[in-house]
Structure formats: structure tokens, C-alpha cells
Chains A and B, each alone.
Chain A
Amino acid sequence: MEYAIEVKNLVKRYKEVLALDHFNLEIKEGEVFGLLGPNGSGKTTTINCILSLLTYDKGEIKVFGRDMKPDSYDIKKEIGVVMQNVAVFDELTVYENVDYFCGLYIKDKETRKAYVEEAIEFVGLEDYKKFLPKKLSGGLLRRLNIACGIAHKPKLIFFDEPTVAVDPQSRNKILEGILKLNEQGATIVYTSHYMEEVEQLCSRILIMDGGKNVAIGTKEELKKMIKNTETISVEVLGLEESNIADLKQLPHVYAVKYDEKAVVISCSGGKHNIVRVLEYFQKNNISFGRVYSELPTLNDVFLEITGKELRD
């Protein structure tokens, strides 16, 4: 199996801050790989180290099987990056911006022209070709940022939180586009702290925290790692301590939390947990409001492994 990226024992310090702590990562060609972690967990630092933008203290980085160095132009040619911050020229129009960045990779004029048109169409900015960046809305600007990063048809593309502060319409467009790029053969590295996006998009996910690898696998694999299989929430008023103790005794239930308005029951395994819970309420004449049953999310995975919420 060919690896697009191999990172071994990467250590990166910013003065006192230890941003990456013996971090390991292997990404196969053709994957949509998700890097999921809370703010400050080291996602951007990881990407910048892989791109050889940052010096690092220890470790080994290979891209397409070759050592990655600042002047590895043959590797850089194959890489596209959509950075967390929008990086475009304010003086240039949408078309010119894409053309400039594409031209840093593609020398042939005809090819370049075709690629630029394609990239603009890809992000849906056909009607804005002559617009200056400052005339674009936040979502459209992000799309321009993407077009600039992918116009040269790279084999490996990094997306660093491309959907931050983007309206749902643009967000869906972006996510669809990323999947399409993957279908066309690109390996994708996608970072986010939105677990829903990562779940929806990525074939494999690495959860990181504090510069360390917390867990890695497909979303199903990740969810199997934890004992939680179902979370049942019931809106109910005036539960007694004794009721809570009773609920805890139900089969497969391993945790019960109550906050005056709703009770949250965590179950591990078993099939008809929700039926048993509701039966209990009816038998004891406790009236209840809405009832939800949720399958575990990546947040539960993160919570169970680190003891912290993923989202703040």
C-alpha cells in the first residue's frame, strides 16, 4: 500500500508550548482523511510541518514516500493547500487570483487556462470572475480561497478548516466539492473541529488532543472503541434520588445524569433500552415530555477517551 503521508514521532515546540508530542500519522493514497481535534490541538501545526513550512524538533516526514524538504519542488508540485486563513490578492479579480496561483504550478498557457476555468466552475464562482475579493461575501471568499489552492489539480490536498464561518449553503457546496476531488483521484487531508463534517466526509479519522494522537480509525471503528452505544434523553421534572438509582439498575445502563429538566441515560449494548426506560416511567406514574435516543457521536468518543468535550 502506498502512503501519501508518513509522519513518525514528530515533536514541535513553539518556545514553551509543546504543540506536537511524538505525533504519528499515516495516510494512504486515495483516502479522505480527517484530523479532528479541539482548538489548539495541533492540527494546523501538523499540516505546516508536513508542508515543510515549519521547522520541527524531532521526527521524520515523508510525502509520497520521499523525504519532504523546503525545496522538494517535485513533491510540492503535487500538493494543494487550502489554508485556514484566506490568502488572495486584494488587487486581483477572482479570475486573476486563481490564474496567478495556478501559474506557479502550471507553465503551459492553454492547460492553465482550462484548469483555471475548471477550478472557478468547481467552486461555483463563474458569475464572479471579474469581482475583486472585497466584493465577495465570506462564503464566496472561502470558495475563492479553495479554487486558488486546487486549480493545479494536485494529487494531495490539505483543507484546514475550510468551512469556518461559512453559511450552510456554501458549506455543503464545499463538502460536495471535496468528495468530488477525491473521486477524481486526490488524496484529501481535512481538519476540523466540527465532528459532523468529519463524520460525513472522511473515510478515516484521527482524533488529536494536546498534540497527541488520541484515537484513529473509521468512524465505526472509533465508535466501537467506547462502551457507549446509545444515549437516551428524557424530558422529565421532579425526579427523586431513588428514581435515578432505579434507572441505574436497568440492564445495559452504565451512567445516569439528571439536571432538573431532563435525564440523560448512557447505555452500553442491548437492544430495547428505550422501551425499558419508558416502561419504568409509566409503571411509576412519572409523566415525561420529549424523548430522544442518540447513537454515539465522535464527541462521545472524544469525551470518553479524554474526559473532555470536543466542542467548547
Chain B
Amino acid sequence: MFIHNFKYAMKTMLKNKTAWLWTLIFPLALGTFMYMSFGKMFENDEVFKVIPVAVVEESSNEAFETMLDSLSEEGEDQMLKVEYMTEDKAKTALDNEDVKGIIYVSDDIKLTVTESSYEVTVLKVILDEYKKREKVLTDIAKTNPSALAGAVDDMMAEKTFFTEVITSEGNQSVYTNYFYAVFAMSCLFASFGAIEKIGNIQANVSSLGMRRCLSPNSKAVTVTAEFLSMLVMQFTVEVVSLIYFVILGVDFGNKYPQILLILFCGSCIGIALGVIIGSISKMSEAAKSGICISISMALSVMADLVASGIKDGIEHTMPIINRINPAALIVDSFYALNIYDTYDRYIRNMVTLGGMALALLVISFLVLRRNKYASV
């Protein structure tokens, strides 16, 4: 009986092309959009590519030049490829895009660039960081020139020097976060599909439900079959999206089994949410869909998937919300996977997501189980 129900649940779903196409298109389109808007900016090799820059020395500035030397030292950490030239040559080079910018060195450091690009941002950051420390460095240059190289190295060694600043401007991990958000949202939006499916097994919502209620079968079988069919569908959509994003070059790390588990638990919670909303029988399908939209959007907003800052606020006032908000948990699980060496946080998130999905399903099942209604 289960197999019969499951087979037809899958069949009705697959034949409803518009429904599943939209489920699939949503993450793919959103991901493509992220890729087109931010992908170039964050492309791996460009972040770490050495930036060619022309330096026009108007007067010597030992502190700054020492830093430039240090930044253009060949090796893994090399950030700049510095060429000293005259102003005219520098301008031609910039026009030909042989260099990304011209740095005028005198007592005052100036930067000339043509376009705005990631490299330009990095150059600006370097100059800003230098200016913040300028006084200290020039003092050292005057009083103890031999210590200057050491001081510059120290400065560079400071973990926060460039990485932090550049990270805050955006880097691969910020970029990947957008895709975590896409996953979280598409999981939550799985709740929509469940509304109609669940309506179709309730005698007081649809005539189909009535007919199914009259058959000699327990609701447990029908509900489980419908849930599993939706899960198969949603999980497939998430996996297809994952593959697509990887092809686009998004770096999710290499813990794929764990990532699949996140997507699986995420699909479960999204569908379970729809199932429980669908099982409130005294409401029209439109009203239920409205509730689904509102809840999914609210959870996404609270998890900073839409704009940033709200999640932090919640963390300070009601941290418990961030511990149970499925959108936040899905994104956080990806994080936890890539940041921590241990799996404690990841496992805690998975257990919370799975547990909540199970609890929602059990409650909905208790509501749906009855076969007798005051009114149909």
C-alpha cells in the first residue's frame, strides 16, 4: 500500500511540471544571479593574483618604499609587481592596462587608477593601511633606518593587516555565503509545495481528500508517502543546485557527504513546515500559502539572508532564535563545516534541524490522523 501511494505521489509530482520546474529554477536562477553579480569580483585566482603597479618616485620615501619592496617580494605572499617609471611612461602603461594603478611617491602618497575593480580596491586598502601606520614607520626610518625592514615585516606579519581588511571588502568566503543563503531559502520555500499535497489528503479540504478518507487505509501511510515523495524531489533539487554551483566555481570545501546531510535536513525542515501549515484545516489554500511566504521570509530575514545585521541584533537580545531558526541553522552548518576542525557545532545544528522536522511531522500527523470531521 505504501509503495502504491508513494509511486503515485511521485507521479503526480513529476507530472506537475510547472510546480517542480519553479522549485528547481528558484535556486538555479538565484545562484546564477549571484554568480553574475559577484562571481568575477571574487574569483579565486584574481584575489591572489599579483597586481602590477607603476610607481612614480617624485621624492624618496624610505618607509613606503620598504613596504613596497616587502609586498613585491617574490613568493607566495607577493601582492604587487612594482615597476618604477617616469610619469609619462606610467600613464601610457595605465592606459594600456599594463598596470592597474600609478602610485606617486613623495612625502604624500597618491594613487591614480582608471576603473574600479577588485585590484583597485586592494591598492586602496594597502595605501590606507600604510597611512594609518605612516607616522610610526617614518619615525623609525628617521631614527633607526636599519630597523625599518624589520618593522615593515612585523606589520605585514600582523595577521589582520591585509587579510582582514580585504576580507571585509569581500572574498571567496563572503561570496560562498550567498550560496549558503540560496540553499537555505530554497529549502524553506519547499513548504509551498506541501500545502496542496496535504490539502489533498484532508476530507474537509478537498474532494480528493474525501475520497482517500473513504478508502480502507491508515492516514499514516498516505502522509508518509506524500512526505517522502516531496523529500526526494526537494533533495534532488538541492543536489542539482549544488552541482551547478560547483560548476560555476563556487568553493564549498570538500566535505561533500556532510554538505549533503545539511541539504537533506534542510529539505526535511522546509517540507515539514509546509506540512504543518497545510494541516491547519480551517483555512483556505491561499491563506496557507500566505502564511508560508511570511514565515519563510521572516526566517530568512532574521537569519540575515536578505540584509545583514539583524541576526547580530537577535544574537544579543534573543539568541535562542538563532539556535532554532532553520534558515540560520542551515547557513551556520555550512560555516561550521568550513571553519571549525571539530564537528560539535555542525552536529548540534543537524540534530536541531532533524529534531524540529520530526517534531513538526509528528504534530501534523496527529492533526491529520483523524478521519471524521464536524463538517466536510
A and B part of one assembly: yes
Task: Give every chain B residue within 8 A of A79 (Cβ-Cβ).
Answer: 214
In residues 195-211 of chain B, which contact A (Cβ within 8 Å)?
203, 206-208, 210-211
User: Which stretch of B8-16, B121-129, B145-153, B316-324 is in the interface?
Assistant: B8-16
Partner of A48, one of B1, B215, B217, B376: B376
In residues 73-110 of chain A, which contact B (Cβ within 8 Å)?
73-74, 76-77, 79, 81, 83, 85-89, 91-92, 96, 100-101, 103-105, 107
Chain B, residues 333-376, CB within 8 Å of chain A (1/0): the string is 00000000000000000000000000000000000001111111
When the two chains form their complex, are residues A73 and B210 in contact, meaning their CB atoms are under 8 A apart?
no
Range of interface residues on chain A? 20 to 34
Task: Give every chain B residue within 8 A of A74 (Cβ-Cβ).
Answer: 216
Nearest to A48 among chain B residues (CB) is B376
- With contact pairs A48-B376, A92-B11 given, residues A53 and B203 touching in the complex (Cβ less than 8 Å): yes
Is A70 in contact with chain B by the CB < 8 A criterion? yes
Task: Give every chain B residue within 8 A of A52 (Cβ-Cβ).
Answer: 371-372
When the two chains form their complex, are residues A85 and B207 in contact, meaning their CB atoms are under 8 A apart?
yes
Number of A-B contacts (CB under 8 A): 79
Task: Give every chain A residue within 8 A of B12 (Cβ-Cβ).
Answer: 89, 91-92
When the two chains form their complex, are residues A77 and B372 in contact, meaning their CB atoms are under 8 A apart?
no
Is A71 in contact with chain B by the CB < 8 A criterion? yes
Task: Give every chain A residue within 8 A of B375 (Cβ-Cβ).
Answer: 14, 54
Task: Give every chain A residue within 8 A of B370 (Cβ-Cβ).
Answer: 70
Query: Chain B residues in contact with chain A, CB under 8 A?
Result: 1, 4, 8, 11-13, 15-16, 203, 206-208, 210-218, 370-376
Partner of A83, one of B4, B16, B207, B218: B207
With A and B bound together, what is the CA distance between A55 and B208 in angstroms? 19
When the two chains form their complex, are residues A101 and B211 in contact, meaning their CB atoms are under 8 A apart?
yes
Query: With contacts A81-B214, A88-B208, A89-B8 known, what are 20 further pairs, Cβ within 8 A?
Result: A52-B371, A53-B203, A53-B210, A53-B371, A53-B376, A55-B374, A70-B370, A70-B371, A79-B214, A81-B211, A85-B207, A87-B207, A87-B210, A89-B12, A91-B12, A91-B15, A92-B8, A100-B8, A103-B4, A104-B216
When the two chains form their complex, are residues A86 and B207 in contact, meaning their CB atoms are under 8 A apart?
yes
In residues 176-218 of chain A, which contact B (Cβ within 8 Å)?
none
Task: Give every chain A residue within 8 A of B376 (Cβ-Cβ).
Answer: 48, 53-54
- With contact pairs A54-B373, A71-B371 given, residues A91 and B214 touching in the complex (Cβ less than 8 Å): no
Task: Give every chain B residue within 8 A of A100 (Cβ-Cβ).
Answer: 4, 8
Is A51 in contact with chain B by the CB < 8 A criterion? yes
When the two chains form their complex, are residues B373 and A53 in contact, meaning their CB atoms are under 8 A apart?
yes
Task: Give every chain A residue within 8 A of B15 (Cβ-Cβ).
Answer: 91-92
Task: Give every chain B residue within 8 A of A120 (Cβ-Cβ).
Answer: none
- With contact pairs A52-B372, A96-B11 given, residues A104 and B217 touching in the complex (Cβ less than 8 Å): yes
Is A148 in contact with chain B by the CB < 8 A criterion? yes
Expressed in whole angstroms, the minimum distance between the Cβ of B226 and any Cβ of chain A is: 12
Expressed in whole angstroms, the minimum distance between the Cβ of A26 and any Cβ of chain B is: 22
When the two chains form their complex, are residues B215 and A104 in contact, meaning their CB atoms are under 8 A apart?
yes
Task: Give every chain A residue within 8 A of B212 (Cβ-Cβ).
Answer: 104
When the two chains form their complex, are residues B216 and A77 in contact, meaning their CB atoms are under 8 A apart?
yes
With A and B bound together, what is the CA distance between A304 and B213 in angstroms? 40
With A and B bound together, what is the CA distance between A73 and B217 in angstroms? 7
Closest 6 CB pairs of A and B: A70-B371, A87-B207, A73-B216, A104-B215, A91-B15, A76-B216
When the two chains form their complex, are residues A96 and B207 in contact, meaning their CB atoms are under 8 A apart?
no
Question: Can you give 29 A-B contacts (C-beta < 8 A)?
Answer: A48-B376, A51-B214, A52-B371, A52-B372, A53-B203, A53-B210, A53-B372, A53-B373, A54-B372, A55-B372, A55-B373, A76-B215, A76-B216, A77-B216, A81-B214, A86-B207, A87-B207, A87-B211, A89-B208, A91-B16, A92-B8, A92-B11, A100-B4, A101-B211, A101-B215, A104-B1, A104-B4, A105-B215, A148-B211
Task: Give every chain A residue within 8 A of B211 (Cβ-Cβ).
Answer: 81, 83, 87, 101, 148-149
Task: Give every chain B residue within 8 A of A70 (Cβ-Cβ).
Answer: 370-372
Task: Give every chain A residue within 8 A of B215 (Cβ-Cβ).
Answer: 76, 101, 104-105
When the two chains form their complex, are residues A76 and B374 in contact, meaning their CB atoms are under 8 A apart?
no
Task: Give every chain B residue within 8 A of A91 (Cβ-Cβ).
Answer: 11-13, 15-16
Expressed in whole angstroms, the minimum distance between the Cβ of A106 and any Cβ of chain B is: 10
Task: Give every chain A residue within 8 A of B372 (Cβ-Cβ).
Answer: 52-55, 70
Task: Give every chain B residue within 8 A of A53 (Cβ-Cβ).
Answer: 203, 210, 213-214, 371-373, 376
With A and B bound together, what is the CA distance between A79 and B376 in angstroms? 19
Expressed in whole angstroms, the minimum distance between the Cβ of B370 and any Cβ of chain A is: 7
Expressed in whole angstroms, the minimum distance between the Cβ of B11 and any Cβ of chain A is: 7
Expressed in whole angstroms, the minimum distance between the Cβ of B210 and any Cβ of chain A is: 6
With A and B bound together, what is the CA distance between A14 and B216 in angstroms? 26
When the two chains form their complex, are residues B216 and A107 in contact, meaning their CB atoms are under 8 A apart?
no
Task: Give every chain B residue within 8 A of A101 (Cβ-Cβ).
Answer: 211, 215
Task: Give every chain A residue within 8 A of B207 (Cβ-Cβ).
Answer: 83, 85-87
- With contact pairs A91-B11, A92-B15 given, residues A76 and B208 touching in the complex (Cβ less than 8 Å): no
When the two chains form their complex, are residues B11 and A87 in contact, meaning their CB atoms are under 8 A apart?
no
Expressed in whole angstroms, the minimum distance between the Cβ of A182 and any Cβ of chain B is: 20
Task: Give every chain B residue within 8 A of A48 (Cβ-Cβ).
Answer: 376
With A and B bound together, what is the CA distance between A17 and B376 in angstroms? 14
With A and B bound together, what is the CA distance between A3 and B174 in angstroms? 74
With A and B bound together, what is the CA distance between A33 and B213 in angstroms? 24
Nearest to A109 among chain B residues (CB) is B4
Expressed in whole angstroms, the minimum distance between the Cβ of A254 and any Cβ of chain B is: 44
Task: Give every chain A residue within 8 A of B16 (Cβ-Cβ).
Answer: 91
Task: Give every chain A residue within 8 A of B1 (Cβ-Cβ).
Answer: 104, 107
